[in-house]
Amino acid sequence: MENKLRMYNTLSRKVEQFVPKEEGKVAMYTCGPTVYHFAHIGNLRSYIMEDLLEKTLRYIGYDVKRVMNITDVGHLSSDADTGEDKMLKGAKREHKSVMEIAKFYTDAFFGDCGDLNIKTPDVVEPATNCISEFIHVIEGLMEKGYAYESGGNIYFDTSKLKEYYVLSNHSEEELLVGVREDVDEDVNKRNKTDFVLWFTKSKFDSQELKWESPWGTGYPGWHIECSCISMKHLGEYMDIHCGGVDNIFPHHTNEIAQSEAYLGHKWCNYWFHVHHLNDKSGKMSKSKGEFLTLSLLKSKGYDPKVYRLFCLQSHYRKPLEFSYEALDNIGAAYEKLVRRIGTLKKEGQVDQERFGYYRERFQEALCDDLNSSMAITVLYDMLKEDMSDATKHALAESFDQVLGLDLTVAYRMKEAEGEVDPETESYILAKIEERKAAKKEKNFALADQIRSELLEKGIVLEDTREGVKWKKA
């Protein structure tokens, strides 16, 4: 296997050639959602770009094993172990139990992923499944002198490390800002950067989920989850760890600290981070304006694939500015694109030479630090070339294994939903109005007659809460 992929590694702050530990195989880990709320489309951007990375690896021939955790315990509202427990907050808000909240939002998350053509990782593991693994690793850290007990909790001692800020150049000044914002600084910590591995004493007397441990009844900290779940399924080494840039500090920094202290060797070689989605005012926050979810976009009539294309048009290491105007433009481009591909005749001879040429160009774009907008340019270039429909169709189908935009099926799906010429459409709408009027006058015989007339023409009417809808039979 040729190592073609070049990607940016947050650890070295450079674009590097990707070389997996075991030839032909990739062990990949993704920090999963904290399932206390719907995912924001900014979070979904990370999952789309991580999906692109996984599919690129598979496309160029790697055998990928990808693992993701589901955070259903222990994540406080500040990533630095302070504030409220996120799961508890969700449960209180909706008057449900923590496990009900976890189930509901886990399903919602995978619903969004399905709409966005994001492949489900090979292993998905909720944190609450792995309590004994967490305890085992924390015990190991205690034995090696990397953890201590204070005020009833177990903390990781960052002063025992040669270097703590391996992923970022964190200056003392930035740290002070962090502390200033943080009103509830934990007095039990020996060092400002120490973090909780296991809570027994917390502010949350109402914490629902608790387990026995050698240090008393309690629950795990957030960071320990990812270290243990990855070790459980991928072993002591992994090739690529993914997440959003906001995970770099403290979450990923703490993951590296505890994993390498426990294992006694380097843990993960490549760190892949996706940048923020912003709005015009800067970083999109959940408290500002409307909370942008995929369901909200769908309710406004946007196809989730349009949001996926919007993300793919921009590089994962650049901030992406969201606006409905931008989404409308992408939506129009998407309509045109799938119509063009959907009307290609797929029967016929595929020109193998041209197929190989474009496949190579497409791979080259992706292998250049996942240049997805360039990969889409290759798609457009290919469609413009004078060659058989069958070759174009085969290429579009092949590219879609990575792009995940339903390129060859979206148009047919829309057609099946009932695209008709404008004249027929106005005829149908007029008939619907006529039927509405008939019903209002309680002339149900006429209403039924109109329905059957349309049915004879292959049009089915449906009475829905949003009014009468029609589709092709």
Query: What residues line the site for Zn ion (CB under 5 A)?
Result: 31, 226
Read off the tokens for 74.
Answer: 């222990």
Read off the tokens for 356.
Answer: 């190989």
Min CB(247)–Zn ion separation in Å: 6
Min CB(31)–Zn ion separation in Å: 3
Min CB(234)–Zn ion separation in Å: 13
Which CB, 42 or 304, lies closer to Zn ion?
A: 42
CA distance 348 to 455: 36
Which CB, 226 or 327, lies closer to Zn ion?
A: 226
Min CB(23)–Zn ion separation in Å: 27
Which CB, 43 or 408, lies closer to Zn ion?
A: 43
CA distance 78 to 180: 13
Min CB(102)–Zn ion separation in Å: 17
- Longest CA–CA separation in the chain, Å: 85
Which CB, 235 or 282, lies closer to Zn ion?
A: 235
Min CB(258)–Zn ion separation in Å: 11
Min CB(72)–Zn ion separation in Å: 13
Cβ atoms of 224 and 197 within 8 Å: the answer is yes
Where residue 213 falls (left for φ over 0; alpha for ψ -120 to 50; beta otherwise) is beta
Which CB, 31 or 167, lies closer to Zn ion?
A: 31
Min CB(223)–Zn ion separation in Å: 7
Read off the tokens for 243.
Answer: 């997440």
Burial 292-326 (b: 16+ CB within 10 A, else e): bbbeebeeeebbbbbbbbbbbbbbbbeebebeeee
Which CB, 259 or 363, lies closer to Zn ion?
A: 259
DSSP string, 6-71: EEEETTTTEEEE---SSTTEEEEEE---BTTSPPPHHHHHHHHHHHHHHHHHHHTT-EEEEEEEEB
DSSP-assigned letter for residue 408: T
Min CB(185)–Zn ion separation in Å: 23
Which CB, 262 or 302, lies closer to Zn ion?
A: 262
Which CB, 98 or 224, lies closer to Zn ion?
A: 224
Min CB(271)–Zn ion separation in Å: 11
Which candidate, 113, 470, 133, 118, places its Cα nearest to that of 294?
Answer: 113
Query: How deeply is 121 buried, as exposed, middle or buried, from its count of CB atoms within 10 A (0-12, 13-18, 19+)?
Result: buried
Which CB, 31 or 98, lies closer to Zn ion?
A: 31
- Count Cα neighbours of 373 within 13 Å in the Cβ-side half-sphere: 10
Residues facing residue 154 across a β-bridge: 149, 198
CA distance 346 to 26: 34
> Residue for token digits 């990575």?
402
Min CB(77)–Zn ion separation in Å: 16
Where residue 238 falls (left for φ over 0; alpha for ψ -120 to 50; beta otherwise) is beta
Which CB, 213 or 253, lies closer to Zn ion?
A: 253
Cβ atoms of 135 and 224 within 8 Å: the answer is no
Where residue 180 falls (left for φ over 0; alpha for ψ -120 to 50; beta otherwise) is alpha
CA distance 457 to 293: 39
Which CB, 31 or 367, lies closer to Zn ion?
A: 31
- Count Cα neighbours of 131 within 13 Å in the Cβ-side half-sphere: 15
Min CB(243)–Zn ion separation in Å: 6
CA distance 39 to 335: 26
Which CB, 43 or 314, lies closer to Zn ion?
A: 43
